[in-house]
């Protein structure tokens, strides 16, 4: 295994919530701002901010500011780490 299991705990805890998992799926498709994400969810902006904070704190999602807008995307390094973990564990084809 390339990394210890403790390196992944925060990521898998973040992904254990359905809303956060759905946010990650959306962000895997393309970079999005909060307003665009909210269109696909029946949650308030503060609730989205809460979920985004958990995803950014674990390093899975990164933020980029452009003027007054913040755009969110998957952190490719952290995503690659998770992919390696799943491959090493035999969970990914």
Place of tokens 């254990």: 16
- Average pLDDT score, the chain: 89
Q: Which domains does the chain have, with CATH numbers?
A: 5-88 (1.10.10.10)
What's the angle, vertex CA 53, arms to CA 49 and CA 59, rounded to 5? Answer: 145
Each residue's pLDDT tens digit, 37-74: 999 899 999 999 999 999 999 999 999 999 999 999 99
- Give the residue among 43, 37, 34, 40 at the shortest CA–CA distance from 66: 34
Find the helix packing angle between 45-57 and 18-29, rounded to 10°: 80
Please check the confidence at residue 85 and state whether its pLDDT lies above 70: yes
Integer Cα distance of 32 and 81 in angstroms: 22
pTM of the predicted protein model: 0.86
pLDDT value of position 26: 95
């Amino acid at each position: 295994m390339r990394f210890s299991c403790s390196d992944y705990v925060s990521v898998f805890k973040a992904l254990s919530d359905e809303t956060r998992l759905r946010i990650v799926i959306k962000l895997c498709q393309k970079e999005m701002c909060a307003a665009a994400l909210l269109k696909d969810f029946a949650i308030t902006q503060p609730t989205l901010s809460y979920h985004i904070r958990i995803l950014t704190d674990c390093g899975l999602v990164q933020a980029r500011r452009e003027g007054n807008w913040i755009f969110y995307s998957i952190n490719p390094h952290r995503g690659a780490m998770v992919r390696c973990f799943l491959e090493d564990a035999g969970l990914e084809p």
